[in-house]
Structure 1
Amino acid sequence: MVETGNKNERLTSSVEACNRWRDHGWRDKVAIWAGRLLVLAAFVSLAGVFFHRSVILRVVMDVLGWVNIPSEPSLFAACMALVLAGGIRRRFRPAHTVLAVVMGLSVLDSLARLLFAHQVTQMINRLHVRGVYRDWAQFQTSPGVCAAILALSVTSFVVVLLARPAFRARFSGSSRTRV
């Protein structure tokens, strides 16, 4: 604490003010890990643009998709994930809202995969997909795995929704206009 001269008035240091501003509970940890996973998704998406035949990158993208983190081999997905990660790391409420919408759409996708798993399996067989891609696709479309993915997807969505109090900032400090 820094004293200002008045006996009743004290200023806190910026570190203490930041520590008071943060939640320090599980909500803050959810925000930290969401930001980290979004940065990972951005780098995986960027690598997927150049190495689009990599089975390992495909598996990592699918696993990130299981916890509703968007990662597809495109520059748009990489840029979106980096911008969203920046907002999440700064605890911007609009970034949390965008992440919640994206995660909600991912939950609907997981539900559709569970409902139409049999048709997807038949389509894979008709398209003559071979090798590791076929095995991985059949693994993901099996009913047990689809149900587990849906449960994981819903759980991660609810956890991020409940972490909303950790996102207190509405604007960046330098984004406000000063008159």
Structure 2
Amino acid sequence: MIDVYAPTGLIADRHKLAENLARTVMRWEKVPEIPLFLDNTAAFVHELDTEAFSTAGGDNRSEDLASAAGEQGCADLVTTASIAALDVFPGFPVYGATKAYVAHLGTNLRQELAPKGIRAMTVEPGIVDTELQNQIADADVRRRLSDTRDRIEWLTPADIAEVVLFAVSRPARVSLPAVPVLSSGQTR
């Protein structure tokens, strides 16, 4: 899965972009075009109003992280992977592989950016109540995922946001490089 965040109205055909990105992920992963992968490889295009982004100082322009680190003592780059990057979840092979890529990218970014005062963190959520569950075409996989609601309370996007807020609000000397976040009842 791949997520793209863009200002509202920037992308004329979000559906076509999402389809092309998902197919690109499949080509990059060199997986065959069979229903298992076609139905479980996804891309999400999220539109954000420019008012949905702001620095603590009220600026809604994207600033260069290195200059921000120089001015403020540190800057943060947060990527989102998944617990699926660490464990195997039947029915989600491409999703798990793409999230493993994001986790590995985060590890490499930490090595490259730390000397510049930039903390790179990868948050690795467990089951979060998002639109992903509505995008799964395989009925058996959808049922298995839905059945977990009977056993555990799913995380919310707000739960993840609070963890990220906690991590980036630490003093410059503290870095939380990889943060798995699970529902209390989720073992993996």
Which structure would you say has the larger Rg?
A: 1
Larger proportion of strand: 2
TM over 0.5: no
Question: When you count helix as a share of all residues, which structure comes out higher?
Answer: 1
